[in-house]
Structure 1
Amino acid sequence: MTKTTKSTPAVNTEARVLSEEEIRAMGEKDYMNADQLAFFKARLQQLEKDLLKNAGETTEHLRETVLVPDPADRATIEEEHALELRTRDRERKLLKKVQQSIASIDAGEYGWCEETGEPIGIPRLIARPTATLSLEAQQRRELKQKLYGD
């Protein structure tokens, strides 16, 4: 089932957001209907909120730097800060993908593979709501990267 045109269905913002089980139980004909889009938009917005909260907590935590005279303790604290900064850098990249996914919902393009135009699939989107490729397209891309170092 290929996607030929990308329409912009109205996202259901007033009714309750369906549960994951209700979304999984829907048939193929319901793929990326207003209820599913509302479900994924709510999930992505919550993830965005959590990532922004974590970033704020990191900023506050790093400001609370305590001067410790012991070099070993100081090294431990610096290592913890470095780890926290690496984690926040990964979250910053994820935040960008989350915001792009929300924009693709608003544009009516969410849930469709960027390479093939095929549905990405509800189970994959539940597991990875920022996915832009179907499982098969992602596997091809990873194989190509492994073979050619692309």
Structure 2
Amino acid sequence: MSDATATSSMDQPPTEAALRRMPKRDYMNRRQQMFFRQRLLAMRKKIEVDLATYRLALQSDERQPDDFDLASAEEDRRYLLRTIERNIGLLKKVDGALRRLTTGDYGYCLESGEPIGIERLLARPTAEYSIDVKARQESRERHYVHHRS
């Protein structure tokens, strides 16, 4: 392989399979960061397209001929509003992950500082906590809710 070919392949994000094969000592190297930046930017773009579509659907002002159609249309609007809220929340998480990539904190647990892990980040690129920390948080939340009820 020529130097130009080696350099150009190093300037490209790895495939998901190549990412999984990288040694643990290479965790959050430049190529891994490139991979996740690309994935997060693609997520962001899709969310923005979806939000624009949902907002257009909300703006449609069709008159409903009877009460049943009106009730169905209102339920559809409530569903769209919940979906928009969820997507806005996800967009904030994506933006947070992109900021952490810029600062070098991406891929590391906000609570423990330990690596989150490639597999978890592949499943949830916006993950902020390692699986152990997240499990403890969820356990505490369930315990708190259980004791409040």
Distance between the aligned counterparts of 2:65 and 2:85, measured in 1?
29
Does 1:100 find its partner at 2:86? no
Q: Over aligned residues, Cα RMSD in angstroms? A: 1.7
Letter in 1 for 2:74: E
Superposition misfits of 4+ residues, deviation over 6 angstroms: none
Per-residue Cα deviation, 1:42-86 (whole angstroms, up to 9, x for no partner) = 100111111111111111111122001211011111111110110
Does 1:91 find its partner at 2:87? yes
Per-residue Cα deviation, 1:4-31 (whole angstroms, up to 9, x for no partner) = xxxxxxxx9x932211111111111110
TM-fit CA distance, 1:142: 0.9
Structure 2, unaligned stretches of length 5 or more? 1-7
Structure 1 match to 2:75? 79
State the number of aligned residues. 138
Structure 1, unaligned stretches of length 5 or more? 1-11
Taking the TM superposition and a 5 Å limit, the aligned residue runs for 1:106-121 are: 106-121=102-117
TM-fit CA distance, 1:37: 0.3
Taking the TM superposition and a 5 Å limit, the aligned residue runs for 1:1-150 are: 15-149=11-145
Higher relative contact order (CA 8 A, sep 6+): 1
Deviates most, 54-63 or 123-132: 54-63
Identity %: 37
TM-score where L is the length of structure 1:
0.87
TM-score where L is the length of structure 2:
0.88
Which structure is higher in helix share? 2
